[in-house]
Amino acid sequence: MPPARLSTKLDYQSLLDKHDTWMFDCDGVLWNGDRLVDGAVKVLEILRSHNKSVLFVTNNATKSRPSYKKKFDKLGVEAHVDEIFGSAYAAAVYVSSVMKLPKDKKVYVVGMEGLEQELASEGISYIGGTDPADATLASFSLSSFTRDPAVAAVLCGLDTAINYTKLSKAFQYLQDPATTFLVTNDDSTYPAEGGLLPGAGAISAPLKTASGREPLSIGKPAKTMLDCIKAKHNFDPKRTIMVGDRLNTDILFGQNGGLSTLLVLTGITHIEDIEGPNASTIVPEYVTNSIGDLRILA
């Protein structure tokens, strides 16, 4: 069944009446890079004025929840830290609460401050990440590498300072099948301001190729992220809607969780991805151009 294309005030009013909890993806929905989508602030205000629960669910692992709160504040978007769920947070919770990584073990991180901060918040020891010693474009020599025997997992997320040294070190650990291979998410591209950039999936791809291993992906569409939200918020899946810009993460995440799904066309997905001969098999329930369209409810 094709998605319902929202257009009239009645369409948006009906969506508002049917859903108490609104989960918003961030990149490509609320903003692209640091550029807000037109109407995003107003729409969130309208939803809150109707006593709707608003949550933010992002696969972007570059920031911790407190760091995201600073971005929300800087952009003038009302958000509370406990409404924000990022894949860095979900990955840290997974390592601590699901893997139950022993205290004498460590994680080798390919990623940025967000991942490090969330791991630290969960009491997880890590190496790698933004370690200045790894921030080099020099070629990598194994003669200068000493494996840390405490490393029991490799965790890879979006790293805009990726280099051969980080990939080489992570790969050393991944050659041991006992080392757990985790990625925060698999997004192939990142919807930045003005266009697309390589996403987290493009950062972990070299490790998958070199190791021949498939990692466990924590972020959307996996249920781990929803489990993290359920641990902090009560919501009725039947009266919850996931608003996203990527079919194989946001919309699939919503479908996997039994949520309604609203696709917006301000990020990754274009109308030809859901209509016509090359349409995806992942079909959102609703589609609208932008979350700004919901300003009609003002």
Ligand X SMILES: O=C(O)[C@H](O)[C@H](O)COP(=O)(O)O
Q: Cβ of residue 44: shortest distance to ligand X, in angstroms?
A: 15
The smaller minimum CB distance to ligand X, of residues 60 and 180, is found at 60
The dihedral built from the CA positions of residue 123, 127, 132 and 136, taken in this order, carries a sign that is negative
- Strands 106-110 and 151-156 come out as parallel
Interacting partner of 21 out of Mg ion, ligand X, none (Cβ under 5 to 8 A depending on kind): none
Question: What ranges make up the beta strands (E) of 91-188?
Answer: 106-110, 125-128, 151-156, 180-183
148 is in an annotated binding site: no
Euclidean distance between CA atoms 98 and 2, whole angstroms: 38
Residue with the two structure tokens 């009013």: 13
236 is in an annotated binding site: no
The dihedral built from the CA positions of residue 58, 246, 221 and 52, taken in this order, carries a sign that is positive
Residue in the shown chain whose Cβ atom is closest to Mg ion: 28
Burial class (CB within 10 angstroms; exposed 0-12, middle 13-18, buried 19+) of 160: exposed
Among 12, 21, 27, 285, binds Mg ion (CB under 5 A): 27
The CA radius of gyration of the chain, in Å to the nearest whole number, is 20
Nearest to 263 by CA among 288, 281, 237, 282: 288
Q: Cβ of residue 87: shortest distance to Mg ion, in angstroms?
A: 11
245 is in an annotated binding site: yes
Among 46, 245, 269, 286, binds Mg ion (CB under 5 A): 245
Q: Cβ of residue 217: shortest distance to ligand X, in angstroms?
A: 11
Residue in the shown chain whose Cβ atom is closest to ligand X: 199
Catalytic site positions: 25, 27
38 is in an annotated binding site: no
25 near Mg ion, judged by CB under 5 A: yes
The smaller minimum CB distance to ligand X, of residues 158 and 287, is found at 158
- Strands 4-5 and 35-36 come out as unpaired
H/E stretch holding 202 reads helix 200-211
Euclidean distance between CA atoms 274 and 272, whole angstroms: 5
The smaller minimum CB distance to ligand X, of residues 154 and 200, is found at 200
Among 15, 21, 28, 229, binds Mg ion (CB under 5 A): 28
269: alpha, beta or left, given left = phi > 0 and alpha = psi -120 to 50?
Answer: beta
Binding mask 150-189 vs Mg ion (x if CB under 5 A, - otherwise)? Answer: ----------------------------------------
Count of CB atoms within 10 A of residue 212's CB? 8
Note the residues at the interface with ligand X (CB under 6 A): 25-28, 58-60, 158, 185, 187, 190, 199-200
Interacting partner of 134 out of ligand X, Mg ion, none (Cβ under 5 to 8 A depending on kind): none
Residues that bind Mg ion (CB under 5 A): 25, 27-28, 245, 267
Q: Output the known binding site for substrate.
A: 220
**Residues of the binding site for Mg(2+):** 25, 27, 245
